[in-house]
Amino acid sequence: LDLISDLDHSQLKQLCDDALTKIEQLTVNSSKVGVGGKQLDLLKADLRSSVLAAGANNAKVAAAQDLMIAVADFLYRLYHQLVSTHGLEADKSAAEVMKKLRQFAKDNAESEESAQLVDEGVESGTETEGGRSPRIMLNLQRHVISPNFAKAMNEQLGGDRIEDIVTESDLRERIIPADSDVFKVSDCLMELSKILRRTVENAMNARVENEDQQELTLQNMKLRSLLATKRSAFISVYQ
């Protein structure tokens, strides 16, 4: 699964790079065409299509990274549950990893407002009194043209701005996770993670039940021994 996920992630990144290259080429070519010509209209249409393709691929890559962060967050919570249940000392490096993941989630947000939500409920990167950080807020229903993507593209384009190339409808469009194989792979990974959690919880419950049964058996043995002692004492008194 990891190999397939890495492959899909690399392919999406390559598609983004190819689309960005085409956008730059189209921008240069459009500046050389006479205003009002049919070729200019075609170039603008191609430029819009390339921007939307690059935006969609960028959104899919970002959403896929969000899914990986979600899996890591899930595994950390499972780890914390095991540590708490068995009274073990928590490894400080686990909390450090989660701080890094929280920063990755902020960097991966599609807008500054979304980035602020990642830190909601967290003070100075510390954990809560219960020992666990608040769940990382993720966004899989991303806009094809996110504010951060538009900002990055506007910094690269020398001519038109993204807002002048795409339509208002384009700016409202969102990706559909089910349409991409990378999300199907991630869904399988999430399902396996849930199975892992159920298995761990069942194992923990079975261990507790076994310990309770052993304790009950021990108490019964002590009670029988005590009764046998009292019976022997009672018989010896009346003989």
Number of CB atoms found within 10 A of residue 93's CB: 8
Q: Are 173 and 141 contacting, i.e. CB atoms less than 8 angstroms apart?
A: no
Q: Kindly state whether residue 125 falls inside one of the protein's structural domains.
A: yes
* Residue 152 lies inside a defined structural domain of this protein: yes
Q: Is residue 203 part of a domain?
A: no
Tally of structural domains, the chain: 1
Q: Does residue 69 fall inside a structural domain?
A: yes
pLDDT at position 124: 40
Half-sphere exposure of 42 (CA within 13 A, CB side): 6
Establish if 226 belongs to a structural domain: no
Three-state secondary structure string covering 141-197: CCECCCHHHHHHHHHHCCCCCHHHHCCHHHHHCECCHHHCHHHHHHHHHHHHHHHHH
For residue 217, tell me if it sits in a domain. no
Residue 126 has a pLDDT of 41
Residue 31 belongs to some domain of the structure: yes
Q: Residue 127 domain-assigned? A: yes
Q: What letter would DSSP give residue 90? A: P
Distance CA 57, CA 13 (A): 7
Range of the domain at 121: 2-189
Task: For the chain, 239 residues long, give each residue's pLDDT as a single digit of tens.
Answer: 443 444 455 665 666 666 667 666 666 655 555 545 677 778 788 888 888 988 888 888 888 888 888 888 888 888 888 888 777 788 888 888 888 888 888 888 877 777 776 666 444 444 444 445 567 777 778 888 988 888 888 887 766 788 888 888 988 888 876 666 767 777 787 788 788 878 877 777 776 666 666 667 776 677 766 666 666 655 665 55
Residue with tokens 């080429």: 25
Model pTM?
A: 0.62
